[in-house]
Amino acid sequence: MGATGAGTRAATHHGSLPPPSALPSGAVPLVPGQHDVRNPVPFPALRRTARPAPTDAALPTSASTEASTEPSTEPSAAPARPRRLLPVAAAVTALVLTGGAAGYAQAHKTVTLDVDGQEVRVSTFAGSVDALLEDRGVATGARDTVTPTGGLQDGTTVVVRHARPVLVEQDGATRTVWTTALTADAALEAMAARGEAGALVASRSSAGRIEVGMALTEGTPVDVVADGATRPAPEGATTAAAALAGLGLEVGPLDRVRVRTTDAGRVEVVLVRVVEQDVTTTSEVPFASSTVEDPDRLEGTRAVVTAGVPGVRTLVEHVTTVDGVETARSTVQDSVTQAPVDEVVAVGTKPKPKPAPKPAPAAATGGGSAPAASSGSTGSLNWAALAACESGGNPSIVSASGKYHGLYQFSVATWQAVGGSGLPSQASAAEQTARAQALYERSGAGQWPHCGPRLFS
């Protein structure tokens, strides 16, 4: 190569590049497919022309390798012309720019993001689904679903479904279930696939609106079941509240709304009427009977001095009905609101006067008077006379007021007090007489203030 070989090593021509294995330690190839040592690339437009060598034999030193030139064929006295490296630098720059443009195109993507049914096209440089969601501010939790996951490709559709709690009624019990379904029928279908068939329970918002938490369906027919009838929901009713309002159905404060699917694949909004009310009933409280001794009355006589009056018992119960069928009943109040008045019977203790002695037989004149009759027992009293006075002797008669019955005009309470059942006017004459005698034994003839004296006639 001659005496100039040492001066040209720093500016080696491409035709004399060393093989890759001969690159110095730390050398980096600058152009794909070619190799070079790590030398700065000068831009001739920014450099001055190299100075001529001081002598013919002089050559550039290693310190001037940045200004080295091609070996010259002119006499050594002529100045060396600088080598122009601008084409090489331009090629390197073009390759870098081309690679950068290709990398930009590869990093930029247009994807579709579907969040709970709301779709939007997104231009992004995100390299993964997680990065895309973070850039878009879409938060997800453990119950939510995201598909796909991992790396993000141009044209991908990323679907995010947030889980929401819904109330589900199964076998009469209500519990909370989390679902990512967008519609009620989709949620019910997913539950049925897991063997958890049931109905969604609508709740009330703070404003009193009926809400299930999601739309009813996407295209499935919807029926409304209420008040014993099934009717199709108005067209365009996408929520339970809209379906009910569209048919003019008012939902009471205690009414319940359920959403279920039928075997025929239809969605049903079921309105259950619930009524809670207090129901009041009254019943009679029987009065008690007591006796007091009356020294002014003859022995064996009785008289009612205070008539018995039944009391009143009031029962208040809270009753719940569901679609007209009673489902619960509880006692609110059970008390005697009117106390009975006890009966008081005076029993005579005054000794009866001794009967007058029989008169002596009259002189034989052919005539005389009959002896006076004795008072006899209760059975010997004149019950027929009493019956004739009280009822005209009719055992089935009832007073105009409906309060007094039978031969001896019993009240129902008095009849029951002496062991009778049913109505006195429906009992036989013999039973009525026996009950009247029992009453006389207990209370005396005073039970019949007007007709009682007839017993002794």
Q: What is the mean pLDDT of the chain?
A: 76
* 302, HSE (Cβ side, Cα atoms, 13 Å): 19
Task: For CA atoms 229, 234, 235, 237, give the dihedral sign.
Answer: negative
Predicted confidence at residue 209, as pLDDT, reads 61
pLDDT tens track for 117-149: 889 999 999 989 999 999 989 999 998 999 998
Q: Is the pLDDT of residue 188 over 70?
A: yes
Measure the CA–CA gap between 431 and 420, rounded to whole angstroms.
9
* CA proximity to 319, closest of 304, 329, 306, 332: 329
Please report which helix (H) or strand (E) contains residue 136, including its range: helix 129-136
Q: Which DSSP string corresponds to 109-177?
A: EEEEEEETTEEEEEEE--SBHHHHHHHHT----TT-EEES-SB--TT-EEEEE--EEEEEEETTEEEEE
Ranges of H-type helices in 137-193: 184-193
**Residue, of 249 and 72, whose pLDDT is higher:** 249
- Look up residue 16 and give its DSSP letter: G
The CATH number of the domain covering residues in 109-161: 3.10.20
The better pLDDT of the pair 79, 162 is held by: 162
Question: Residue 310 has what pLDDT?
Answer: 96
d(CA 417, CA 411): 10
pLDDT number for residue 298: 86
Question: What is the number of alpha carbons within 13 Å of residue 272 lying toward its C-beta?
Answer: 15
Q: How confident is the model at residue 46 (pLDDT cuts 50, 70, 90)?
A: very low
Calculate the dihedral angle through the C-alpha atoms of 61, 63, 67, 72, rounding to the nearest 10 degrees: 10
Retrieve residue 81's tokens.
Answer: 């012309």
Q: Which CATH superfamily hosts domain 276-350?
A: Resuscitation-promoting factor rpfb. (2.20.230.10)
Residue 397, CB-side half-sphere exposure with 13 Å CA sphere: 14
Among residues of the chain, what percentage have pLDDT more than 70? 70
DSSP β-ladder status, 267-272 and 222-226: parallel
Question: Which of 193-197, 240-244, 339-343 has the highest mean predicted lDDT (pLDDT)?
Answer: 339-343
Q: What is the mean pLDDT of residues 91-110?
A: 60
| Confidence band for 89, pLDDT divided at 50, 70 and 90 | low
Of 67-71, 79-83, 356-360, where does mean pLDDT reach its minimum?
Answer: 67-71
Q: How far apart are CA 226 and CA 248, in angstroms?
A: 11
Rounded-to-integer distance, Cα 131 and Cα 152, Å: 9
Residues 6+ apart with CB under 8 A from 116: 160, 161, 162, 182
Q: What's the whole-model pTM score?
A: 0.46
User: 75-79, 240-244, 420-424: lowest mean pLDDT where?
Assistant: 75-79
Residue 321 pLDDT: 96
Count CA atoms within 13 Å of residue 61 on its CB side. Answer: 2
With b meaning 16 or more CB within 10 Å and e meaning fewer, what string describes 213-224?
bbbbbeeeebbb
Q: Give 217-259 pLDDT, tens digit per residue.
A: 777 789 999 999 999 999 888 888 888 989 999 999 899 999 9
Q: What is the mean pLDDT of residues 423-447?
A: 90
Query: Residue 210: pLDDT above 80?
Result: no
Phi, psi for residue 319 in degrees, rounded to 5: -115, 135
Residue 333: both structure tokens together? 């109040």
Tokens of 5: 């070989």
- Report the topology of domain 378-456: Lysozyme (1.10.530)
What is the domain partition of the chain in residue ranges? Answer: 6-102, 109-161, 164-271, 276-350, 378-456
Average pLDDT over residues 157-180: 85
Write out pLDDT tens, residues 217-228: 777 789 999 999
Structural contact between residues 42 and 86, judged by C-beta atoms closer than 8 angstroms: no
CA dist 332 to 98, 277, 322, Å? 89, 11, 20
Please give the pLDDT value at position 40.
47
DSSP codes joined into one string, 178-195: EE--SBHHHHHHHHHHTT
Task: Give the per-residue pLDDT at 304.
Answer: 92
Give the mean model confidence (pLDDT) for residues 154-169: 88
In angstroms, the CA 331 to CA 322 distance is: 19
Sign (positive/negative) of CA torsion 276, 277, 278, 279? negative
What the block records as the tokens of 313 is 């018992």
